[in-house]
Structure formats: C-alpha cells, structure tokens
Amino acid sequence: MRTVAFHTLGCKVNQYETEAMEELFEKNNYSIVNENDIADIYVINTCTVTNLSDRKSRQFIRKAKRLNKNGVIAVVGCYSQVSPSEVEKIDGVDVIIGTSDRRRIVELCERAMDTNEIINVVQNIKTYKKFEKIDIDDIKSKTRAYIKIQDGCNQFCSYCIIPYARGPIRSRAIDDIIEETKKLSHAGFKEVILTGIHVASYGRDLKNIQLIDIIEQIGNIDGIERIRLSSVEPTLINEEFMKSIARVGKVCDHFHLSLQSGSNSVLKRMNRKYTSEIYKEKVELIRKYMPDAGITTDIIVGFPGETDEEFKETCDFVNEIKFSRIHVFKYSPRKGTPAAKYPDQIDGNVKNERSDKLIELGNKLAFEFMNRFKDRNLDVLFEEANKNNIDLHEGYTTNYIRVAANSNISIIGEIKSTRIVDIQNDLLIGEILH
C-alpha cells in the first residue's frame, strides 16, 4: 500500500481541506502516515498570511525531501497560489496546486510519480466564480465538525494577502451544506461550525440567499444541538440577524468578531469597513440578545504608523468591550499588500512591548469573564479525556470556555449540565449534575 503524509499550515479552512484531501487518498487505497515518516507522497498545504508562513512551507518541503529523496512532493494552497513560480524553483517540488483543483491531487501526484515531470496547475483565481466542493464523508473528530460554506474574500484589507490567494467570494450551494450537515447528524455530531474565508459574505454571489438562511435550515435538523460560527465581520451583526438566530435557538453565544485595532485612524489605514463606535454597537446588540456571549477577537499591534496614542486607544477600547479572549498579532509586512509599502514601519522592539502589554490585558479580561460563571450551571459538550487522567473529561460551553470535570464513564460527545466550582489556569473546573 502506498503512503502519503500531510503537513498543514494556517487556518481552520486549510485543516478542513487537508482532511478532504486525506480522504481522497484513502479512497484510492493510500495509507496516511505521520509527517515525520518516510512516505511515497508528501502534501504540504500552505499558508501565505505572512512571510514567515512562506518560510515554514519551504522548510517542510526541504525536510520532506530529506525524509525520502524519491518521494513526490505536492505543494498546495495559498502560498502556491500567490507565488507559483517561486514554489516551482524549490528543489524537490513535483506538483504545484493553488487554491483550486485540489480534487485532482491524487491523479496529479500519480502522474508526477510515473513521469518525473513537474506539474503546475495553478490558475488565475480571480476568474473563479464557483465554489469548489470537496466532500468529507468520514470526519476524524467525533464531537464538533467543521463545514466549509464559502471561499474567497472581497474585502482587500491593506495588510492582507488572502483575497489574492483565495480569489473572489464563492458560496457553496445550500443543498450541499444541508446534505453534509444531515450526514454529520446521523454520524452522531451534536455541534457544527460554519467556516470559510469570509463567512459573513455567504450568499452575496447567489440569488436571495444569506447566511441566516443556512443557519435556519440547519436549526431544523434533528440531532444538531449547536451551531457555531467561525470568525465573522462586525458588519454581519444587525437587529434582524440577532432576532433570527435567537429564534433558531441553537446558535452558540460565542462570536469571534474581527477587530484588528481600536483606533479609528488605524482602522482607516487598514481599509477596515467600520469604526470602533460601530464595532461597539454590534457588541452591545449581541449582548442584548445573548447576555453571556463570549466575544473573542484578533488585534494587530505595530501596524505602520501606529502611534503611542493610537495603541492606547486600542488598549482602552479592549478594556471597554471586555472581550472574553483576544489573539494578539505583531504586524508583519506581507509582500504584495499595500501596507507593506506604507511609510513609518514600526520597530520590532516596540511591537514586542505593545504585544506583551495587550496579551497581559487580554489574560486579565479572560479571567474576569470566566470568573462570572463560578457557581453557575453550564451545558458542556465534552470532547476528550485528559491524557494524564482518563477520568477527567474536557469540553466547551456554548460561549466557548473550556471546562474540565470528572466522570468514571466516558462522556465524550455528550452535552452535560455542569456546576462550575473553580478556575485553574485557563480552565473552569466543574461537577457534572446529570
């Protein structure tokens, strides 16, 4: 039996697409092996968000060549899409696929294996108008399942390469999404996560369909008890949307609401489509309908020209919003984006200082948010047993707090009412009530 190894960089969408490609190989009688093993084929599913992502991709290509000098190396994804000629020049690369044509990966790898030719099928992603469907029939996880509902982005934030790597918005047919969700329900999944490159834009390229239409239809599927949204833009949130998801009753009270900066002048330079005032209105609207909602976000520090005052505005805004968790990124110039050419690039030491300060603030707010739920009963979907203590089970609340509780029988995949009794590090400690 031939073997294939995968190395995946980047976002949840990439992880979903890797799982789909793994299944394609398995259906063609390949065995999936660890990325550090000797394999007949190595697939590197790349990210290109930062120059560091590109470098990590190149490092693993070289590592794969050392593991098996005769192995076929396929480079797939965003880095290949943006820089196909650069990838083609890397010694050992046999197959280059961008962010389309991944359904052909087995065929292309086998052709490279038989002919020893370099195969490059990267096309102009800007011309793509249809969502490329790659089915997953056997989800590796058994508690929460990702469903990719769209691809592409039309936002063109000044720091971001993704629109150039993923192309324009393409929405998946709603019937396909519902069919996959029903399969997941029959397989025993209780929670689905709607994911994509720009989830909030779902349906803009289709007629008379919006994200809420998917949510409402999934809400009618028996067995699915939780619907979670991956990262969304603040512009998605309005009164009608919140009323609608409240009626569905299955949508998790957790929103990863992209911020990037709390300073309006920085947001303008970033080409974001909102102000801090608008963002705050959206958060207040969420909390009006879901008072315990977890609001998580991403923030970039050290964006070109960011002054001490602008950074202070961000810190003050973060403190005002009271996020449940923040992810802090130090700005890294990405070749091919407008911001990479902006004047007043920020010194690395300043970025480090700002990052440390914001992380410290984020940790404080995360603790405050978790502490609100001490001595309360929360529903927890338990996902795994602790590696060091099989009786200690861990899972997540609807508002995305990790909880650990003891059970002498397996409760993986079950939603249990749990009394919160303590906080330890990043965990709520609970006692199962039933």
pLDDT tens track for 275-307: 999 999 999 999 999 999 999 999 999 999 999
Task: Give the per-residue pLDDT at 387.
Answer: 77
Q: How far is CA 244 from CA 143, 162, 249, 387, in A?
A: 26, 30, 9, 40
Q: How far is CA 243 from CA 75, 199, 246, 255, in A?
A: 44, 19, 5, 15
Q: What is the rounded average pLDDT of the residues 60-68?
A: 92
Token digits for 391?
A: 């009786």
DSSP for 228-248 reads EE-SB-GGG--HHHHHHHHHH
Closest CA to 218 of 244, 196, 238: 244
Q: Which residue ranges make up each domain of the chain?
A: 3-123, 126-252, 377-432
- d(C-alpha 209, C-alpha 188), whole Å: 28
Which neighbouring-strand residues pair with 196?
Answer: 150
Token digits for 91?
A: 């010694």
- d(C-alpha 93, C-alpha 323), whole Å: 43
pLDDT band at 327 (very low <50, low <70, confident <90, very high): very high
pLDDT tens track for 241-281: 999 999 999 999 999 999 999 999 999 999 999 999 999 99
Lowest mean pLDDT among 13-17, 107-111, 307-311: 13-17
Which residue pairs, CB below 8 angstroms and at least 24 apart, start in 393-400?
Answer: 394/427, 395/143, 397/373, 397/428, 398/226, 398/252, 398/253, 398/254, 399/252, 399/253, 399/254, 399/290, 399/292, 399/293, 399/294, 399/324, 400/228, 400/252, 400/254, 400/294, 400/296, 400/324, 400/325
Task: Give the per-residue pLDDT at 427.
Answer: 93
pLDDT tens track for 33-58: 999 999 999 999 999 988 888 999 99
φ and ψ of 226, to 5 deg? -135, 135
Q: Which residue has the higher pLDDT, 335 or 309?
A: 309
Task: Give the per-residue pLDDT at 287.
Answer: 98
What CATH number was assigned to the domain covering residues 126-252? 3.30.750.210
8 Å CB contact between 83 and 109:
no
Q: For domain 3-123, give the CATH superfamily.
A: Methylthiotransferase, N-terminal domain (3.40.50.12160)
Provide, rounded to the nearest whole percent, the portion of the chain with pLDDT above 90. 86
Task: Give the per-residue pLDDT at 415.
Answer: 95
pLDDT tens track for 112-123: 999 988 999 998
Task: Give the per-residue pLDDT at 313.
Answer: 98
The amino acid occupying position 398 is: T
pLDDT at position 191 over 90: yes
Q: What is the rounded average pLDDT of the residues 173-188?
A: 93
Task: Give the per-residue pLDDT at 426.
Answer: 87
pLDDT band at 207 (very low <50, low <70, confident <90, very high): confident
